[in-house]
Chains A and B, each alone.
Chain A
Amino acid sequence: MATLSAAQARDLARLYHELATTLGRYRFDNWDDLTKARRASIEAIERSLLSASSDFTVIAINLALDDVDPVLKRIKRVTKRMTAAVKKLKRTDKVIRMAEAAVKLTGAILSGAPSAIASALDEAIRASK
């Protein structure tokens, strides 16, 4: 059996909706000329057509989602890699902070100022934690 595509399901949903609308317009425009039984049968067809339209809509969306399934998997993979990259960046930031502290400590030692050395040492210890 041939399978339906999302576009075909959408076409059917549109077609059923248009048919229901046309029938509804006909029923209301000719209300007094139609017998009660005739109106009831047209109304029942309208209901079926509107229901069928929303049934084909749900099929269309599901088929469209089936189509993008491999795309979703690939985007998830890229997102996972980006998240890992951001984590790596955070780790890099830690290394950078340690490097900065080391430079500061070097500078403090070169200056020979005890207070600067003490402060830089504290910072270096904090950065390495």
Chain B
Amino acid sequence: MGRWLRRFVYTACFNALLVGLSACVDTSAVRRFATVSSTASEQFEEIADDLPAACMRQHRYLALADSQITLEGVRSRAEESCSDYVTLARRLNGANQVLVSYLKALGKLAEDKLVVYDKRIEDVADALADNDMFDAEKIGAVERLAATLSNAVAGEWRRKQLKQTVEEANPDVQILVAALRDVIDEDYTRLLDVEGEAAKHYYLGQIKEYGAGEPLTVPLVFEKWREADLAVRDKQGAAALSVKILDKIAKGHQKLYDNRDKLSSKEVHSLLMEYTVVLEDLVYDFEKLRDAF
């Protein structure tokens, strides 16, 4: 085998080794954070879909309290009053989907295989140093080194893309998450309060109006009112969890931005894992309240 060819292979392998050693890129924590965040964000859909439903429930109570109206009138009045909410829910889901798609893409971009620098690389260095002809073992070593180089180069490119993305998107992600958070924390929560007030308006009105004449029906009406109240409270509990989830996503993304120059560092890894674990717990708690919807 020609000496020039061996020299070429040796040089290539040494270069590979140098590049590989300088580019250990582990963005698995970024991937996990982004993946859990996207899953968590998908739960917003339950809330967005409940906005028109909450409006309908509220208007049904209000219409029922109106003794002048028929049952058909109750339904049509509620539908008429809440048609804007149906359009709104689609719009909100669209906005949330932008966040989910962003987080999913971020997770995919951060999806890499950890480049392992172990004794195999030293073996290759030793093998190349002794200047022998290649045997089967050394061929394997060359293969592994090539794989290491490939991963390192791809990983480095990926890290740069991640940094650029997080840098560019962070201000907008913060604004979008804050907007979605306000919708849940202020608007949806108030809509549920109004629903609760409308339920009280109807049930307590019935008890006050007819309770004295039909005392046996009072406990039944109270029970219905209690059930309606519990349903509202469960939804408010889910809304509070959803707000916490969005807060964690915003803070976690901010940490990504703050540490964008060292995304694969151990420090960022453990920091993001903390956020990820809390998010997983919040998602688990939200799942338990899913029946509320």
Q: Are A72 and B176 in contact (CB under 8 A)?
A: yes
CB <8 Å contact, A58 and B201: no
Are B105 and A64 in touch, CB under 8 angstroms?
Answer: no
How many interface residues does chain B have, given as a range? 35 or more
Pair B134/A110 contact, Cβ less than 8 Å: yes
- CB of A122 within 8 A of chain B? no
- Across the interface, which residues of B come within 8 angstroms of A93, CB to CB? 154
> In B171-225, which residues have CB < 8 Å from any A CB?
172-173, 175-176, 179, 182-183, 186-187, 190-191, 193-194, 197-198, 200-201, 204-205, 208
Give CA–CA (A71, B94) in the complex, Å: 13
- Give the interface segment out of B21-29, B140-148, B257-265, B270-278: B140-148
By the criterion CB–CB under 8 Å, are A50 and B101 in contact?
no
The answer to whether B135 touches A86, judged by C-beta atoms less than 8 angstroms apart, is no
Complex CA gap A17/B239 in Å reads 19
For chain A, residues 102 to 123, give those with C-beta under 8 angstroms from any C-beta of chain B.
103-104, 106-113, 116
Which residues of chain B have C-beta atoms less than 8 A from A75's C-beta? 98-99, 102, 169, 172-173, 176
What's the dominant secondary structure at chain A's contact region?
helix
If A47-B62, A85-B109, A107-B134 touch, does A62 touch B91 (CB 8 Å cutoff)? yes
Q: Which residues of A contact B172 (CB under 8 A)?
A: 71, 74-75, 78
- Give residues of chain A (37-64) contacting chain B, Cβ–Cβ below 8 Å: 43, 46-47, 50-51, 53-55, 57-58, 60-62, 64
Contacts of B190 in A (CB 8 A): 13-14, 17, 53, 57
- The interface residues of chain A lying within 8 Å CB-to-CB of B165 are 78, 81-82, 85
Chain A residues, CB < 8 A from B95? 65, 68, 72
Is there contact, CB below 8 Å, between A86 and B105?
A: yes
Residue of B nearest to A107 (CB): B139
Chain A residues with a Cβ under 8 A of chain B: 10, 13-14, 17, 20-21, 24, 28, 31, 43, 46-47, 50-51, 53-55, 57-58, 60-62, 64-65, 67-68, 71-72, 74-76, 78-79, 81-83, 85-86, 89, 92-93, 96, 99-100, 103-104, 106-113, 116
Can you give 29 contacting A-B residue pairs, CB < 8 Å?
A: A17-B193, A21-B197, A24-B197, A43-B201, A47-B66, A54-B58, A55-B84, A57-B190, A65-B91, A65-B95, A65-B179, A72-B95, A78-B102, A78-B165, A79-B102, A82-B102, A82-B106, A82-B109, A85-B165, A93-B154, A96-B154, A103-B12, A107-B134, A107-B138, A107-B139, A108-B139, A111-B134, A113-B136, A116-B136
Q: Given contacts A28-B208, A43-B65, could you give 7 more A-B pairs where the C-beta distance is less than 8 Å?
A: A54-B191, A62-B84, A72-B98, A89-B109, A99-B146, A100-B150, A109-B1
The 8 closest A-B pairs by CB, nearest first: A107-B139, A96-B150, A82-B105, A103-B146, A110-B134, A71-B172, A78-B169, A79-B102
